Amino acid sequence: MMPLKVQSLAVSFPGLATPVLSIANLEIAAGSRVALTGGSGSGKSTLLNIIAGLERVGSGHVVWGGQDIARLSEGRRDRWRAENVGLVMQDFHLFAGLSALDNVLLPARLSRVSTPDLVKRAHELIETVGLKRTGQPVETMSRGEMQRVAIARALLRKPGVIIADEPTASLDVENGEAVGDLLLSVAAGAGSTLVVATHDQRMIERLDRRIVLRGGCIVGDDVVGKVPV
């Protein structure tokens, strides 16, 4: 479980007069489930990239559980992200030619942290997300199944925070709902902080807090109370 504190954050891209993201103050409590909404170009993805440690912070602080990731070098940020963040993306980003199990284990293996216990956990996670064949090549799976593999991958190292970028956008309604359920339940089960950037109204309605972005600024922040999983 990790709380987030963002202060005086400003992200600018060369050639643009105004910052694409400007957040004076944002706090997210540990274990909360937050929906990040807003139109295209509102700064959702940039904010997700910043809090996931994917993007360099120009100015400001991004503090996760006491660790200001804005001060970390790129290599250390990578390491911090690998240890603390589970990422789920719209396009799954699974690697063809590898099985579901190999895909789940790939980041850990590349970081040389794969252990027999972790392999066992990968098997369990694949079962948890509702898949039966761990050895099935991912390219032979349906889109819904692929997103389940991606969720299992995100959870492998028991991350304190799960960040999902439009996790249901490329799925049909039925699969989208199932994946939404899964995300909420696994985050709750692991006690992870969940931040989801989404346009999916059903998904938004099931999260405790809704932050609305426009033009890189927070224009709405509603806490709707604990929504049952």
Binding site for another protein (CB under 8 A): 45, 49, 52, 54-56, 74-75, 78-79, 81-83, 85, 87, 89, 91, 93, 95-98, 102, 106-111, 153, 157
Q: Which is nearer to another protein, 170 or 210 (CB)?
A: 170
Q: Which is nearer to another protein, 68 or 78 (CB)?
A: 78
Shortest distance, position 8 Cβ to another protein, whole Å? 20
Shortest distance, position 223 Cβ to another protein, whole Å? 29
Q: Which is nearer to another protein, 111 or 201 (CB)?
A: 111
Shortest distance, position 226 Cβ to another protein, whole Å? 30
CB of 44 closer than 8 Å to CB of 197: yes
Shortest distance, position 152 Cβ to another protein, whole Å? 12
CB of 212 closer than 8 Å to CB of 43: no
What H or E segment, with its residue span, contains residue 35?
A: strand 33-37
Q: Which is nearer to another protein, 22 or 99 (CB)?
A: 99
Cα dihedral 169, 53, 40, 3 in deg (nearest 10): 80
Measured between alpha carbons, how far is 193 from 163 in angstroms, rounded to an integer? 8
CB of 10 closer than 8 Å to CB of 19: yes
Q: Which is nearer to another protein, 87 or 182 (CB)?
A: 87
Shortest distance, position 91 Cβ to another protein, whole Å? 8
Show the tokens assigned to 204.
């938004």
Show the tokens assigned to 121.
């956990």
Token look-up 């889109």 returns: 143
Q: Which is nearer to another protein, 46 or 209 (CB)?
A: 46
CB of 95 closer than 8 Å to CB of 106: yes
Shortest distance, position 179 Cβ to another protein, whole Å? 18
Measured between alpha carbons, how far is 176 from 58 in angstroms, rounded to an integer? 35
